Structure 1
Amino acid sequence: MMEREVGDPPHIAPLNRYAAALRARHGDVPRFDPLDGGIDARILVLLETPGPASASTGTTSRDNPTGTARNLTRFLDALPLSRQDTVIWNAVPWRLPRCGGKLGRPTRKDTEMVAQDLPALLALLPRLQVVVLAGRVAQSLRTALAAARPELCLIAIPHPSPTHLAASPAAREHLFGEGLRRQIAVAIADDAR
């Protein structure tokens, strides 16, 4: 039986039903952020896996109290769109077992399962134009995304975690640089025509 999601606004309810179905199969899956655009979003940002903050907040959100969320917010705030144009999710949306005090890493089996679930998620996002693939795990889904919705513009970005950006000044410059913002703005403008 599918878990009932009480009190979800209409733009988020279908996505949280999708998350509940995943939760029933895979365990701990956070909910979508009701402050984002939900099913009306034009941009889907795929991160890698749920971080520890989503365990306490219960959502995948730019408002979670983490450095990754702060960097993601900085990136998104620089784009020529509103929060209602975006929805944030994780490439592997279920929480992985911790390993030696660190977040678990997705396995090939995890990404294969996710690739099978992507068409159902994309079907819930009819206005979607751009998928931002944040990090290697999200970028590994490029082929599955293109097969499910070939018209989507897929844009790879560095993962916004503070650890990753501190280790790679080039990644930090790419994430916050003008070129990436311009690329996303052009993709949205092209699809609006």
Structure 2
Amino acid sequence: MTVGDVDPPHVRPLNRYTDVLRARHGDVPDFDPLDGGIEARLLVLLETPGPVSVSTGTTSRDNPTGTARNLTRFLDGLPLSRWDTVIWNAVPWRLPRRGGKLGRPTRMDIEAAAHDLPALIALLPRVQVVVLAGRVAQSLRPVLDAARPDVTAIAIPHPSPTHLAASPAARERLFGETLRREIAVAIAQEAG
């Protein structure tokens, strides 16, 4: 991969997937070319892209947000390299702002995302674990289980600073040793 190459071979199939989504839903950030793309063993499924993801054009742990910093802290605690991971959103298109705040996914958004998820999972043949961050991502678990029953799905709290500040238990779950061990065991079992 060359410096500045935003569509290298390991993310190209994923970015073609985003092109299809853009045609139907509007603004959809690309996958981060610094992550593992189709080579990833762990998929982190967040909820929706924030304004920074839309402005940078990439769903990335490097975006300058508190959620990205917390996600990086979580991922850095796992026994995986960055190349082993890929980050995406359950509802991957930008939602309209409502009342000056970020839009929340509607039932129709979630149903559309559920329809699109199997195509994404098919592009990630090496994925062993899917981390479902937050309620919206967790609501897609039945679709994930049907599309890839061989994959281990693990629910985690959403890494947004607001959510973690409101719930010390969520903070402990996200950054605690129990969750790290659970993911490490799942990766090891799938590899063995």
Instruction: Give the partner amino acid of 1:163.
Output: T
Query: With structure 1 as the length reference, what TM-score do the two structures score?
Result: 0.96
Q: Which residue of 2 aligns with 1:126?
A: 125
Q: Is the contact made by 2:6 and 2:33 (CA closer than 8 Å) also made in structure 1?
A: no
Q: How does 1:148-187 map to 2 (within 5 A)?
A: 148-187=147-186
Q: Is the contact made by 2:36 and 2:82 (CA closer than 8 Å) also made in structure 1?
A: yes
Question: Where in structure 2 are there 5+ consecutive unaligned residues?
Answer: none
Q: Which residue of 1 aligns with 2:64?
A: 65
Deviation string 1:18-58 (CA, Å, 9 cap, x unpaired) is 00110010000000000000000000000000011112210
Aligned length: 188
SS, match of residue 18 in structure 1:
helix
Q: Which residue of 2 aligns with 1:84?
A: 83
CA offset at residue 7 of structure 1? 5.6
- Percent identity, aligned pairs only, is 81
Query: With structure 2 as the length reference, what TM-score do the two structures score?
Result: 0.96
Q: Which residue of 1 aligns with 2:137?
A: 138
Q: Which residue of 1 aligns with 2:33?
A: 34
Q: Which residue of 2 aligns with 1:3?
A: none
Q: Is the contact made by 2:36 and 2:86 (CA closer than 8 Å) also made in structure 1?
A: yes
The whole-number CA distance in structure 1 between the counterparts of 2:100 and 2:161 is 18
The whole-number CA distance in structure 2 between the counterparts of 1:55 and 1:192 is 35
The 1:189–1:88 alpha-carbon spacing in structure 2 relative to 1, beyond 3 Å, is same
Deviation string 1:115-166 (CA, Å, 9 cap, x unpaired) is 1111110110000100000000000000000011111100000000000000
The whole-number CA distance in structure 1 between the counterparts of 2:182 and 2:101 is 34
The whole-number CA distance in structure 2 between the counterparts of 1:101 and 1:90 is 22
Q: Which residue of 1 aligns with 2:47?
A: 48
The whole-number CA distance in structure 2 between the counterparts of 1:111 and 1:149 is 19
The whole-number CA distance in structure 2 between the counterparts of 1:26 and 1:123 is 20
The whole-number CA distance in structure 1 between the counterparts of 2:66 and 2:185 is 28
Question: Where in structure 1 are there 5+ consecutive unaligned residues?
Answer: 1-5
The whole-number CA distance in structure 2 between the counterparts of 1:54 and 1:192 is 32
The alignment status of 1:95 with 2:91, answered yes or no, reads no
The whole-number CA distance in structure 2 between the counterparts of 1:149 and 1:135 is 20
